[in-house]
Structure 1
């Protein structure tokens, strides 16, 4: 297996109409969650990936499992919880590039994850462990699960990849900062956004933020800069990689997960850091052009066409 990840995925309801959700009468049902967005992104690019979680033993949970399996992600370590529901959330698209998300996840099955949900033998078969900063915010037991997964990964020689994925509404800022820094200090690759770096260190200068993360012990830091692309840092070098122009941004949710999938895909394919970040930028840009968390994630043929677009499509 190439990659294993774990965390909560929820049922997503999106109004069929744009504007304020109070006037919506019909909704489409989809699924979304940082870790499965990432996992599906990798699977579409031809990589093997597994997802560990809990979902409710309800119709929505079963539908979710069927969907994620159908996208090529291994779900053999996902547990059905008979005592808690599958989490849900709503995405309100008021107009293009004006998206609001409302979560109803308190007490969900995934928030009840514990270290006993982890299978070390299963994890040991992977090359990378992907950790999101959302999971430790869900509950104390979820936080314990994150650190136990990292310990398992370290014991078995996996590369730990961390996307801070800061969600301030989920926990107090003091706790968030402390925990995210602790996870970052145990990670090999860190994929923060500038706002997350500023939250953790107080700096806004990308060069300083990259250095701060390296000083925690990371081997690679890739700082996401939105439409301007990304800047990667290692102890030996750092370089800005331009982003891709998007004609119309429809839905930015999930772009960071696509970015992470593109980057790890590049590493799995043996690309240079510069080329891996370029792939990450491309996948992130493609995702923003489609409504939905995973609907825009490209297959290799889609990615190839996009990356080979004329040079003027690149933001310098």
Structure 2
């Protein structure tokens, strides 16, 4: 999507300036993985407009292999503003957009079968019936080829109701090998506030990672339990932290790192992301992570 972000804090109508860029969970993860040295491919539909041009150029510039299908519909947009210092509001303009017209035939079968990991989110199935079909068909094609399936639940209440989302997201999680979600998202999928990691693992995934923002994360990976605290950083923009976390975990998984290291990298990438404005602009490179973890001063000379 295109991203229109108001500068400053307060009512949108009083904003004195706006920043225009790109956003979206899947593109954030793809860029994050690429910056950390992994190979990533993004597949989606974009419109015949300047916003679509920007998305394609930005992804390619970040080293992401980009399968951008041009559609006659407009590219989707989100408008974001910080109502208070602690509350960010996001409005979506995606109904009828190019992204909502994604269909099963848009995702190359050979690309799926040759992947190491297929990563999808619970956002795409919310966009339309065809986008939902594309998501599930891609997952089944990957599973049949022995490809690891990663799912970030990513429930968006402005795109669909909890009633409509719950069974679809539960079905999606049950087909995953790796699943990410917050405590509230896990409760939505499970239908109750039970031990979320155990409940999600009972649906089938062998790796369950519960992202809990400033409270850190917990994981249940191949039967082993993990718990990591969040890093103490100054938060500038909390949006995109979850996507950054996922990118860190998947990049290290691709690199063959052990579960504890994957989670440590995920926490560090998420922490770095919130110190910079924007969805993907501030995602770190490996050298940035080393500097974050070893910094003793606020100036690098």
TM exceeds 0.5?
A: yes
**Corresponding residue number in structure 2 for 1:4:** none
Aligned to 1:212: 199
1:296 to 267, 282, 285: 282
Residue matched to 1:194 = 183
Q: CA shift at 1:308, angstroms? A: 3.4
1:98 correspondence with 2:84: no
Counterpart check, 1:52 vs 2:52: no
- The answer for the alignment partner of 1:185 in structure 2 is 174
Q: Could you tell me whether the CA contact under 8 Å between 2:38 and 2:255 is conserved in 1?
A: no
How far apart in 2 are the matches of 1:16 and 1:253?
Answer: 14
Unaligned runs of 5+ in 2: 297-301
Aligned to 1:18: 9
Report the equivalent of 2:220: 233
| TM-score normalised by structure 1 residue count | 0.90
Residue pair 1:242, 1:278 contacting (<8 A) in 2 also:
no
Could you tell me how far apart the structure 2 residues matched to 1:183 and 1:148 are? 11
**Length-normalised TM-score, structure 2:** 0.94
> Counterpart in 2 of 1:245?
232
RMSD: 1.4
* Other-structure match for 2:71: 81
1:177 CA drift (Å): 0.4
Partner of 1:169: 158
Which residue number corresponds to residue 72 of structure 1?
Answer: 63
Matched, 1:30 2:24: no
- Match of 1:35, SS state, is helix
CA contact (8 A) 1:137 1:170 kept: yes
Kindly tell me the number of residue pairs found equivalent between the two proteins. Answer: 296
Q: C-alpha separation between the residues in 2 aligned to 1:273 and 1:235?
A: 9
SS of residue in 1 equivalent to 2:181: coil
- Secondary structure of the residue aligned to 1:289 is coil
Could you report, residue by residue, the CA deviation over 1:73-132 in whole angstroms, capped at 9, with x for unpaired residues?
A: 111x210102x0001111112343321111111110010011010101112221000010
